A and B are shown apart, each in its own frame.
Chain A
Amino acid sequence: MKANNKKIRNDIILICILCVTAAVACFFLYFKADNAEKMQLQILIDGELIETYDYSTDEDFYKEIALDIGNTIVVENGQIYMKEANCPDGLCIKQGEISKDGQSIICLPHKLVVRLVELSRDNFSENDGLDVMPR
């Protein structure tokens, strides 16, 4: 019985550690660069940078980007979202709007990544990530 209580305690410790790790990771990932001035909208297919657009937070800025692979990306009121997609799961549409540095919309069936990158962090393009990001 004693051993069992210990195991339940271990369970709780494990869950707490995982939650704290997630919270710390969350803090580092989301709250580091909130108001980046100049951001760039990058479209990657299969890891390669296909197109880039200047990102504008203007209220009445509207742009629709249609890709050959069947995805339509919309920039509206400073929010970027996937309007249409012909992938089977449609998860990229459900991912909603992005507007901050580092955020991305990912369509796995098409190997498509739409991401916002702060211009000063320009080295974060293409395969440079291999050296920078932890694995």
Chain B
Amino acid sequence: MTQNIQNKDIKIVGKLHSKAQFVAIVGVMAAFAAILSYIETIIPFSIWIPGVKLGLANIAIVVILCLYGAREAFAVNIVRILVVGLLFGNMFSISFSLAGALISFAVMVLAKKTDLFTIIGISVTGGVAHNLGQMIVASVVIETYSVVYYMPALMIAGVITGIIIGMVGKIILKYMTKIVKNKR
């Protein structure tokens, strides 16, 4: 039973036929991601290491990446960052989260393309890439390489949050798959 569901998880389930469908699904998922980002700011999960986040919004990104594809996930990502950045942040935080999100997104798309991993593996690569990407951006901004000392901690944190996010994403993907299939 569970194996059956897992099997369905991996394939790209939906295909968006019209522009309206694209706008609708991207809008819904971006709203979902924005809410997750907001919830994340409420949860006091700030470790002393700069750049480590729980990455709840990544749930929405991973799910839509597995459900539809890179194009839709990219749109959701951009909308989410701009909305959240304008509502709760400033230009500084926008550029930072944009850098982290784009690097992690690119790596996740590659991980998806290789077709080697489940949603958990994709989410782990995304988490690690996000943390390392932000570390690299930070080291460029402050022009020092001392941040390299956070690398191991950032990697481990990325793996752990990636596994959590991937597991949650798997559950959501299961239900989303059902919905998308019934609609067609």
Query: CB within 8 Å of B: which residues of A?
Result: 1, 3-4, 7-8, 10-11, 14-15, 18-19, 21-23, 25-26, 29-30, 44, 46-47, 89, 91, 94-96, 102-104, 106, 108-109, 111-113, 115, 127, 129, 132-133
Supposing A19-B159, A23-B152, A94-B48 touch, asked if A10 and B144 sit within 8 A by C-beta, the answer is no
Bound complex: CA of A88 vs CA of B60, how far in Å? 28
Number of A-B contacts (CB under 8 A): 105
Contact B149 A108 (CB under 8 A): no
Chain B residue numbers with a CB within 8 Å of A115 are 144, 146
Say if the beta carbon of B120 comes within 8 Å of chain A: yes
Chain B residue numbers with a CB within 8 Å of A94 are 46, 48
Chain A residue numbers with a CB within 8 Å of B147 are 104, 106
Q: In which size bucket is the chain B interface?
A: 35 or more
Contact B142 A113 (CB under 8 A): yes
Bound complex: CA of A91 vs CA of B125, how far in Å? 26
Bound complex: CA of A48 vs CA of B121, how far in Å? 40
Chain B residue numbers with a CB within 8 Å of A7 are 10, 116-118, 121
Chain A interface main SS type = helix
The 8 closest A-B pairs by CB, nearest first: A47-B143, A11-B121, A104-B146, A26-B152, A94-B48, A22-B155, A22-B152, A133-B145
